[in-house]
Structure 1
Amino acid sequence: MSFDDYVKNFYKNRKKKPNYDNLRSEFIDKGYEKFLWLNQREEDSSARNTKRKIRTLKKFDKPEILTSIVKEISEIISNDEFIFFFSYAPTKSYYLAKELAKRAHRTVVLSNVYEDDSSINTVAIFKREQVIEANLFFHSL
């Protein structure tokens, strides 16, 4: 829906129509037209274009150095779990996350990809039934 259509639709039942030339140019110059509702035909067209673009995407080839960490992560997770990654940092939120991770179904310290990387990266895994604990953990990060 264009700005003109929107204004016409808004004022179609009113007798006095406003002078909106300045408003129109400002509205369009700032790109606000894209935030107006689409009609059904435009919505369907946009959905078809999005599907077409998704189908043309190429599969992401991960760098060779990440193969081991991706394999390690894929072996420890499943679809019915909430997974959170967090790294060591001497902050209150880290220590809170570390304590809350004790409530998790499982925690795993990930191996580092680079030899000179001394970071401590942890995965906290919550089961679907632990949604309250997972939510609390999420908001602690």
Structure 2
Amino acid sequence: MNNQTIYIAKGQEKQIIKKYNLKNYYIAKLDGSNIHTFSDYMNAIIIAFQFPKNMFINTNSIDAYNDWMRDLTWIDQYDGYILIIENFEQMMSSYPKEKGIIMDEFRETICPFWKDEVLHTVVDGKAKGFFVLLVD
């Protein structure tokens, strides 16, 4: 499984899903033009990934975020996950450092976990795809 972050042009989402044969994947969408701060991002993630109410309440902690993004048991019936961030350039444009941290977490923590770390750290863990599509 080649989990990754991919920069694409608007309208290419379906092509990527077909190219990588991403059937039965949970699709979460964010509109970066509405995400100005880290808190906005966290609240959008909670909605997009349908976090159970009151489960993910520490929205200021990157560690809590990583823990929950490597759980997703409430939507584990899917073969993988796709996060589409539309208007990515606009997302957190006044906070490039924080935006960079978020993207680093996908590359260094979340995507590698779902690729194979889950097999060694979770009882009966199953490798899944995790793609982040950055759209502009």
- TM exceeds 0.5? no
Could you tell me the TM-score, scaled by structure 1's length?
A: 0.23
Could you tell me the TM-score, scaled by structure 2's length?
A: 0.23
Q: Indicate the structure with greater helix content.
A: 1
Query: Which one scores higher on RCO, CA 8 angstroms, separation ≥ 6?
Result: 2
Q: Indicate the structure with greater strand content.
A: 2
